[in-house]
Amino acid sequence: MKIKVIDGYNALKDSLKGQEKAYLLLYKEGNDTSECALENLTEAAGKIDDLLIMTANVANVRDIHPVYEIKTVPTLISFENGNYKNVIKGCQSVDFYKNLFEESLFVVRRSPDEKPQKRVTVYSTPTCSWCNTLKAHLRHHNIRFTDIDVSRDQAAAQAMVARSGQQGVPQTDINGEIIIGFDKKRINELLEINA
């Protein structure tokens, strides 16, 4: 997806019309942390379709950050239905931005008579092909889950090993039951997926 460059607050307001979710990165050209955020965001956005992702260089655009009381850059602002929702400060990894955008796109709507979904946590690493297969399977069946990258979160990695006795990934926690690897049959059984 191509990132939209915003040249002012009015352009931002116009761009947000009709958008369920959108993001705006405020950055300052020539600032190392800002350049890092812009580069990683651009790479992550290249892998995402159907989501409005915008940037504004505060050296040129001076009427957006005061509206949202942004005092430091880089700052990523998230919007829902045109309204300010949250901010994420600093430079984040490509995977962080990609996961953030995918989560925004992955919204499951439940009918009132449907049972609540079980709590699902996936412990994974970005280079693990079975981890990616497992997450794609869950997304395909509209299963909401929390993805924890144990290569970046040492405390979570230690907690995972303490619970399962295993270091390998993927590991899936479904309402407290740990499944090691991509055991499709057991995962489908626990999540009541008819596949």
Which pLDDT score is estimated for 112? Answer: 58
pLDDT band at 106 (very low <50, low <70, confident <90, very high): low
Mean pLDDT in residue range 76-105:
84
pLDDT score of 91 more than 60: yes
The domain boundary residue, chosen from 77, 105, 133: 105
Mean pLDDT in residue range 161-190:
94
Closest to 5 measured CA to CA, from 49, 36, 41: 41
In a domain, 112, yes or no: no
C-alpha 101/C-alpha 96 separation (Å) is 9
In a domain, 81, yes or no: yes
Read off the tokens for 13: 């307001």
pLDDT score of 104 more than 90: no
Which pLDDT score is estimated for 172? Answer: 96
The reply to whether 9 and 99 lie within a common domain is: yes
Structural domains counted in the chain:
2
Which pLDDT score is estimated for 134? Answer: 95
Mean pLDDT in residue range 152-180:
92
Return the C-alpha torsion angle 80, 25, 108, 94, nearest 10: -170
C-alpha 119/C-alpha 72 separation (Å) is 36
pLDDT score of 131 more than 80: yes
In a domain, 115, yes or no: no
176 conformational bin, left if phi > 0, alpha if psi -120 to 50, beta if neither: left
**Angle in degrees, CA 141, 169, 156, rounded to 5:** 100
Mean pLDDT, the chain, integer:
89
% of the chain residues with pLDDT over 70: 93
The reply to whether 46 and 125 lie within a common domain is: no
Domain coverage including residue 147? 120-191
In a domain, 130, yes or no: yes
The domain boundary residue, chosen from 52, 70, 105: 105
Which pLDDT score is estimated for 113? Answer: 60
CATH number at 139 reads: 3.40.30.10
Sign of the alpha-carbon torsion through 186, 192, 193, 195: positive
pLDDT band at 108 (very low <50, low <70, confident <90, very high): very low
**HEC assignment per residue over 97-147:** HHHHHHHHHCCCCCCCCCCCCCCEEEEECCCCHHHHHHHHHHHHCCCCCEE
In a domain, 46, yes or no: yes
Which pLDDT score is estimated for 153? Answer: 86
The reply to whether 145 and 98 lie within a common domain is: no
C-alpha 107/C-alpha 104 separation (Å) is 7
**HEC assignment per residue over 14-80:** HHHCCCCEEEEEEECCCCHHHHHHHHHHHHHHCCCCCCEEEEEECCCCCCCCCCCCCCCCCEEEEEE
More confident residue, 54 or 97: 54
The reply to whether 14 and 95 lie within a common domain is: yes
Which pLDDT score is estimated for 98? Answer: 83
The reply to whether 93 and 154 lie within a common domain is: no
Q: How far is CA 154 from CA 80, 91, 93, 146, 173, in A?
A: 32, 20, 16, 17, 18
